[in-house]
Amino acid sequence: MNVLIVYAHPERQSLNGALLDCAIGALEEQGHTVRVSDLYAMRWKAAADRADFPDLAEGERLRVASASARAFAAHDLTDDVRAEQEKLVWADTVILQFPLWWFTMPAILKGWVDRVYACGFAYGVGEHSDRRWGDRYGEGVMAGKRAMLVVTTGGWAEHYSPRGINGPIDDLLFPINHGILFYPGFTVLPPFVAYRVDRLDDRAFATVAAALRTRMQALGTIAPIAYRRQNDGDYRIPAMELKPGLEKPGATGFALHLD
Protein backbone atom coordinates (compact mmCIF):
# COMPACT_ATOMS: atom_id res chain seq x y z
CA MET A 1 0.00 0.00 0.00
CA ASN A 2 1.21 3.54 -0.76
CA VAL A 3 0.81 5.86 2.22
CA LEU A 4 1.19 9.64 2.12
CA ILE A 5 1.63 11.41 5.46
CA VAL A 6 1.11 15.16 5.37
CA TYR A 7 2.91 16.37 8.49
CA ALA A 8 2.30 19.84 9.93
CA HIS A 9 4.55 20.62 12.90
CA PRO A 10 7.27 23.28 12.87
CA GLU A 11 9.71 21.15 14.89
CA ARG A 12 10.93 17.75 13.77
CA GLN A 13 12.28 17.03 17.29
CA SER A 14 8.80 17.33 18.79
CA LEU A 15 6.40 14.75 20.10
CA ASN A 16 4.70 14.91 16.72
CA GLY A 17 8.06 14.27 15.07
CA ALA A 18 8.62 11.21 17.28
CA LEU A 19 5.13 9.93 16.46
CA LEU A 20 5.78 10.48 12.76
CA ASP A 21 8.89 8.26 13.00
CA CYS A 22 6.84 5.70 14.85
CA ALA A 23 4.13 5.68 12.15
CA ILE A 24 6.66 5.45 9.32
CA GLY A 25 8.46 2.57 11.09
CA ALA A 26 5.25 0.62 11.67
CA LEU A 27 4.07 1.11 8.08
CA GLU A 28 7.40 0.18 6.51
CA GLU A 29 7.63 -2.93 8.70
CA GLN A 30 4.42 -4.08 7.03
CA GLY A 31 5.89 -3.54 3.58
CA HIS A 32 4.04 -0.32 2.80
CA THR A 33 5.71 2.49 0.87
CA VAL A 34 5.58 5.81 2.74
CA ARG A 35 6.04 9.34 1.47
CA VAL A 36 5.98 12.35 3.79
CA SER A 37 5.10 15.94 2.98
CA ASP A 38 6.76 17.79 5.87
CA LEU A 39 5.09 21.13 5.25
CA TYR A 40 7.30 23.35 7.42
CA ALA A 41 10.49 21.69 6.14
CA MET A 42 9.19 22.24 2.59
CA ARG A 43 8.48 25.89 3.45
CA TRP A 44 5.01 25.32 2.08
CA LYS A 45 3.32 28.49 0.89
CA ALA A 46 0.10 28.52 2.88
CA ALA A 47 -1.88 31.40 1.38
CA ALA A 48 -3.83 30.84 -1.80
CA ASP A 49 -3.38 34.02 -3.82
CA ARG A 50 -2.65 35.52 -7.22
CA ALA A 51 0.83 33.99 -7.39
CA ASP A 52 -0.83 30.57 -7.70
CA PHE A 53 -2.15 31.49 -11.14
CA PRO A 54 0.71 32.86 -13.24
CA ASP A 55 -1.44 32.81 -16.39
CA LEU A 56 -3.82 35.42 -14.94
CA ALA A 57 -3.54 38.59 -17.00
CA GLU A 58 -2.35 41.71 -15.23
CA GLY A 59 -5.33 43.62 -13.90
CA GLU A 60 -7.68 40.64 -14.40
CA ARG A 61 -9.83 40.10 -11.34
CA LEU A 62 -8.84 36.97 -9.39
CA ARG A 63 -11.72 34.57 -8.85
CA VAL A 64 -10.03 31.74 -7.02
CA ALA A 65 -12.32 28.85 -7.97
CA SER A 66 -12.49 29.70 -11.67
CA ALA A 67 -8.75 30.53 -11.88
CA SER A 68 -8.09 27.20 -10.17
CA ALA A 69 -10.35 25.29 -12.60
CA ARG A 70 -8.70 26.95 -15.59
CA ALA A 71 -5.16 26.34 -14.35
CA PHE A 72 -5.91 22.73 -13.42
CA ALA A 73 -7.43 21.98 -16.83
CA ALA A 74 -4.48 23.63 -18.61
CA HIS A 75 -1.88 21.85 -16.38
CA ASP A 76 -0.81 25.34 -15.35
CA LEU A 77 -0.88 25.01 -11.57
CA THR A 78 2.41 25.79 -9.82
CA ASP A 79 4.97 22.99 -9.48
CA ASP A 80 4.58 22.67 -5.69
CA VAL A 81 0.81 22.17 -5.99
CA ARG A 82 1.16 19.69 -8.86
CA ALA A 83 3.72 17.67 -6.90
CA GLU A 84 1.28 17.34 -3.98
CA GLN A 85 -1.57 16.38 -6.31
CA GLU A 86 0.64 13.70 -7.83
CA LYS A 87 1.31 12.32 -4.32
CA LEU A 88 -2.44 12.23 -3.62
CA VAL A 89 -3.09 10.32 -6.83
CA TRP A 90 -0.22 7.93 -5.94
CA ALA A 91 -1.44 7.25 -2.40
CA ASP A 92 -3.86 4.51 -1.37
CA THR A 93 -4.05 6.01 2.11
CA VAL A 94 -3.51 9.59 3.21
CA ILE A 95 -2.75 10.62 6.79
CA LEU A 96 -2.92 14.22 7.97
CA GLN A 97 -0.85 14.60 11.14
CA PHE A 98 -0.91 17.75 13.27
CA PRO A 99 -1.12 19.19 16.80
CA LEU A 100 -4.55 20.67 17.50
CA TRP A 101 -4.08 24.43 17.38
CA TRP A 102 -7.04 26.58 18.30
CA PHE A 103 -9.36 23.63 17.88
CA THR A 104 -8.31 22.87 14.32
CA MET A 105 -5.32 22.20 12.08
CA PRO A 106 -2.33 24.59 11.90
CA ALA A 107 -2.76 27.24 9.20
CA ILE A 108 -0.01 25.74 7.04
CA LEU A 109 -2.02 22.53 6.64
CA LYS A 110 -5.22 24.40 5.88
CA GLY A 111 -3.21 26.28 3.25
CA TRP A 112 -2.07 22.96 1.79
CA VAL A 113 -5.72 21.99 1.38
CA ASP A 114 -6.70 25.39 -0.04
CA ARG A 115 -4.02 25.20 -2.72
CA VAL A 116 -3.75 21.48 -3.51
CA TYR A 117 -7.48 20.84 -3.69
CA ALA A 118 -7.90 22.56 -7.05
CA CYS A 119 -11.24 23.00 -8.78
CA GLY A 120 -11.67 20.04 -11.14
CA PHE A 121 -9.41 17.94 -8.95
CA ALA A 122 -10.98 17.84 -5.49
CA TYR A 123 -14.20 19.75 -6.09
CA GLY A 124 -16.35 20.91 -8.97
CA VAL A 125 -16.45 17.45 -10.54
CA GLY A 126 -19.32 15.28 -11.74
CA GLU A 127 -22.80 15.68 -13.11
CA HIS A 128 -25.27 18.08 -11.51
CA SER A 129 -28.84 17.02 -12.21
CA ASP A 130 -32.03 16.16 -10.36
CA ARG A 131 -30.43 12.79 -9.46
CA ARG A 132 -26.88 13.79 -8.56
CA TRP A 133 -25.17 16.83 -7.13
CA GLY A 134 -21.68 16.32 -8.41
CA ASP A 135 -19.17 13.69 -7.36
CA ARG A 136 -18.66 14.53 -3.69
CA TYR A 137 -19.32 13.24 -0.18
CA GLY A 138 -18.19 9.69 -0.76
CA GLU A 139 -17.58 10.04 -4.50
CA GLY A 140 -14.95 11.98 -6.41
CA VAL A 141 -11.29 11.77 -7.38
CA MET A 142 -10.27 10.26 -4.03
CA ALA A 143 -12.89 7.48 -4.09
CA GLY A 144 -11.35 4.15 -3.12
CA LYS A 145 -8.62 5.76 -1.02
CA ARG A 146 -8.58 5.79 2.77
CA ALA A 147 -7.72 8.80 4.90
CA MET A 148 -7.16 9.39 8.58
CA LEU A 149 -6.14 12.11 11.04
CA VAL A 150 -3.37 11.75 13.62
CA VAL A 151 -3.87 14.55 16.15
CA THR A 152 -2.27 15.53 19.46
CA THR A 153 -3.99 17.79 21.96
CA GLY A 154 -3.04 19.64 25.12
CA GLY A 155 -6.57 19.17 26.45
CA TRP A 156 -7.66 16.03 28.28
CA ALA A 157 -9.88 13.33 26.75
CA GLU A 158 -12.63 14.39 29.17
CA HIS A 159 -12.45 17.97 27.86
CA TYR A 160 -13.34 16.55 24.43
CA SER A 161 -15.98 14.08 25.64
CA PRO A 162 -19.68 14.47 24.71
CA ARG A 163 -20.25 16.83 27.70
CA GLY A 164 -16.73 18.29 27.77
CA ILE A 165 -16.16 22.05 27.75
CA ASN A 166 -14.15 21.98 24.49
CA GLY A 167 -16.91 20.21 22.60
CA PRO A 168 -16.84 16.58 21.44
CA ILE A 169 -13.73 15.75 19.42
CA ASP A 170 -15.84 14.20 16.65
CA ASP A 171 -17.68 17.51 16.27
CA LEU A 172 -14.46 19.55 16.22
CA LEU A 173 -12.91 17.29 13.62
CA PHE A 174 -16.10 16.98 11.54
CA PRO A 175 -15.21 19.87 9.19
CA ILE A 176 -11.91 18.12 8.43
CA ASN A 177 -13.14 14.53 8.32
CA HIS A 178 -16.40 15.20 6.51
CA GLY A 179 -15.64 18.49 4.78
CA ILE A 180 -12.02 17.99 3.68
CA LEU A 181 -11.66 14.19 3.46
CA PHE A 182 -15.10 12.70 2.75
CA TYR A 183 -16.08 15.52 0.36
CA PRO A 184 -13.53 14.63 -2.37
CA GLY A 185 -14.30 10.94 -1.92
CA PHE A 186 -11.97 9.51 0.73
CA THR A 187 -13.19 6.69 2.94
CA VAL A 188 -12.52 8.26 6.34
CA LEU A 189 -11.13 6.23 9.22
CA PRO A 190 -11.72 7.20 12.86
CA PRO A 191 -9.04 9.68 13.96
CA PHE A 192 -6.12 8.70 16.16
CA VAL A 193 -6.09 11.31 18.92
CA ALA A 194 -3.45 11.53 21.66
CA TYR A 195 -4.82 13.71 24.47
CA ARG A 196 -3.12 15.64 27.28
CA VAL A 197 0.31 15.31 25.72
CA ASP A 198 2.03 18.49 26.88
CA ARG A 199 3.80 16.91 29.85
CA LEU A 200 4.27 13.38 28.59
CA ASP A 201 6.86 11.29 30.45
CA ASP A 202 8.68 8.35 28.83
CA ARG A 203 6.12 5.81 30.03
CA ALA A 204 3.18 7.78 28.72
CA PHE A 205 5.04 8.31 25.45
CA ALA A 206 5.58 4.56 25.13
CA THR A 207 1.83 3.98 25.59
CA VAL A 208 0.90 6.53 22.92
CA ALA A 209 3.57 5.21 20.54
CA ALA A 210 2.36 1.62 20.99
CA ALA A 211 -1.25 2.66 20.33
CA LEU A 212 -0.19 4.49 17.18
CA ARG A 213 1.78 1.46 15.96
CA THR A 214 -1.28 -0.74 16.54
CA ARG A 215 -3.41 1.72 14.59
CA MET A 216 -0.93 1.74 11.71
CA GLN A 217 -1.13 -2.05 11.59
CA ALA A 218 -4.93 -1.82 11.32
CA LEU A 219 -4.95 0.88 8.65
CA GLY A 220 -6.16 -1.43 5.89
CA THR A 221 -8.85 -3.17 7.94
CA ILE A 222 -10.31 -0.72 10.46
CA ALA A 223 -13.98 0.18 9.87
CA PRO A 224 -14.47 3.69 8.49
CA ILE A 225 -16.73 6.40 9.88
CA ALA A 226 -20.18 5.64 8.44
CA TYR A 227 -20.88 8.96 6.74
CA ARG A 228 -23.92 8.98 4.47
CA ARG A 229 -23.13 9.19 0.79
CA GLN A 230 -24.65 12.14 -0.98
CA ASN A 231 -26.09 10.49 -4.08
CA ASP A 232 -27.42 7.27 -2.53
CA GLY A 233 -30.91 8.63 -1.87
CA ASP A 234 -30.68 9.93 1.71
CA TYR A 235 -30.72 13.61 0.69
CA ARG A 236 -33.23 15.73 -1.23
CA ILE A 237 -31.57 17.13 -4.35
CA PRO A 238 -30.86 20.02 -4.90
CA ALA A 239 -31.62 21.21 -1.34
CA MET A 240 -29.16 18.58 -0.05
CA GLU A 241 -31.15 18.14 3.16
CA LEU A 242 -31.40 14.78 4.87
CA LYS A 243 -34.80 13.29 4.17
CA PRO A 244 -37.04 13.18 7.28
CA GLY A 245 -37.06 10.06 9.42
CA LEU A 246 -33.64 8.69 8.48
CA GLU A 247 -31.79 9.90 11.55
CA LYS A 248 -31.25 8.01 14.75
CA PRO A 249 -33.74 9.13 17.43
CA GLY A 250 -32.54 12.40 18.95
CA ALA A 251 -29.70 12.92 16.45
CA THR A 252 -29.13 16.53 15.39
CA GLY A 253 -26.33 18.59 13.86
CA PHE A 254 -23.29 16.72 12.59
CA ALA A 255 -24.64 13.39 13.86
CA LEU A 256 -27.40 13.52 11.22
CA HIS A 257 -24.84 12.61 8.59
CA LEU A 258 -23.86 9.33 10.20
CA ASP A 259 -25.63 6.32 8.75
Residues in contact with ligand FAD by CB under 6 A are: 9, 14-16, 18, 99-103, 152-155, 197-200, 202, 205
SS3 of 44, please? coil
Closer residue to ligand FAD (CB): 54 or 154:
154
Q: In angstroms, rounded to a whole number, what is the distance separating the alpha carbons of residues 37 and 81?
A: 12
Listed in sequence order, the DSSP H helices in 42-138 are: 64-73, 79-90, 107-116
In the complex, what is the shortest distance from the CB of residue 19 to ligand FAD, in angstroms, rounded to a whole number? 7
In the complex, what is the shortest distance from the CB of residue 201 to ligand FAD, in angstroms, rounded to a whole number? 7
| CB half-sphere exposure, 235, CA atoms < 13 A | 21
In the complex, what is the shortest distance from the CB of residue 248 to ligand FAD, in angstroms, rounded to a whole number? 28
Closer residue to ligand FAD (CB): 129 or 161:
161
Closer residue to ligand FAD (CB): 162 or 245:
162
Closer residue to ligand FAD (CB): 205 or 254:
205
Q: In angstroms, rounded to a whole number, what is the distance separating the alpha carbons of residues 7 and 15?
A: 12
In the complex, what is the shortest distance from the CB of residue 253 to ligand FAD, in angstroms, rounded to a whole number? 20
Strands (E), the chain: 2-7, 33-38, 93-99, 146-152, 187-188, 192-194, 235-236, 241-242
Closer residue to ligand FAD (CB): 94 or 197:
197
Q: In angstroms, rounded to a whole number, what is the distance separating the alpha carbons of residues 114 and 37?
A: 15
In the complex, what is the shortest distance from the CB of residue 189 to ligand FAD, in angstroms, rounded to a whole number? 20
